[in-house]
Amino acid sequence: MQIALTFDNLGEAADLERGLWPGDAPLGRHPSVTVALPRLLDELDGLGLRATFCVEALNCELYPDAVRGIAARGHEVAMHAWRHEAWGDLDPAREDDLLGRGRAAFAALGVDGVVGFRPPGGALTAASPRLLARHGFTWCSPLGARRERAAVSPARPAPTIATSAVRVRRRAWRAGAAAACSASMASSAAAAAAAATNSRRVKVVSVTARQCTGSA
């Protein structure tokens, strides 16, 4: 069985989108990037694991070295919207624009192979399959989608990671990953990996930076 370990969210992007980031707070110093990410990458190295990091493309501007660093350590980088927009609410023109900006931002950093997409909020729009394919994405992991529905290109089938990522993630929490997650991002990676390898039901183990930094 294939196991995909994924991490969602990076930095202050989601808080900016939700209006939760204080207007006078500086950008580019979020502890999920400056503190947790280096520890997590070291932990993954130590465990010999490679993961998929679903990051908001805005991080290419705020944390270019961090985004490059994730890829340079051998992990997959996937797009998690531009600034964590509630994807299912977007109109096609806006969706098209954000996907294009995101792809261009990763390419400008020299981070190639960004072909995965995870929609914030879990929902796609009716236009998403067409737009994702047009922008070169070959897999996505919407909430509760079956593998065949998640494939954005019939010619390039979605890999295992696209199978019901969020539903399976909750199973992983019940398997024990959540307890360690509140302690630190790094230790949660180890716990998540252990939970995954100990349970045949778990195919995707996903951890969010928000959960791991204890910021609710």
Judged by CB, which is closer to Zn ion: 156, or 205? 205
Residues paired with 205 in a beta bridge: 5
Q: Which stretch binds Zn ion (CB under 5 A): 33-41, 67-75, 114-122, 197-205?
A: 114-122
Q: Which stretch binds Zn ion (CB under 5 A): 8-16, 94-102, 105-113, 130-138?
A: 8-16
Judged by CB, which is closer to Zn ion: 8, or 15? 8
Judged by CB, which is closer to Zn ion: 47, or 166? 166
Torsion sign (Cα): 72, 77, 81, 84: negative
**Shortest Cβ 154–Zn ion spacing (Å):** 27
Question: Cα 178 to the chain's mean position, in Å?
Answer: 17
**Shortest Cβ 14–Zn ion spacing (Å):** 6
Whole-number Å distance between alpha carbons of 121 and 124 = 9
Whole-number Å distance between alpha carbons of 184 and 78 = 22
Judged by CB, which is closer to Zn ion: 141, or 184? 141
Q: Please, are residues 92 and 127 in contact by the beta-carbon 8 Å criterion?
A: yes
3-state class of 76 per DSSP? strand
Among residue numbers 13 through 32, which ones bind Zn ion (CB under 5 A)? none
**Shortest Cβ 124–Zn ion spacing (Å):** 14
Whole-number Å distance between alpha carbons of 192 and 47 = 11
Judged by CB, which is closer to Zn ion: 8, or 43? 8
Helix axes 92-109, 64-72, angle to 10 degrees: 70
**Shortest Cβ 181–Zn ion spacing (Å):** 15
**Shortest Cβ 67–Zn ion spacing (Å):** 16
Judged by CB, which is closer to Zn ion: 24, or 212? 212
Site string for Zn ion, 119-158 (x = CB under 5 A): -x--------------------------------------
Which of 5, 8, 36, 51 lies at the binding interface for Zn ion (CB under 5 A)? 8
Whole-number Å distance between alpha carbons of 140 and 124 = 9
Q: Please, are residues 70 and 50 in contact by the beta-carbon 8 Å criterion?
A: no
12: contact with Zn ion by CB under 5 A: no
Closest CA to 27 of 72, 61, 53: 61
Residues near Zn ion (CB under 5 A) are: 8-9, 120
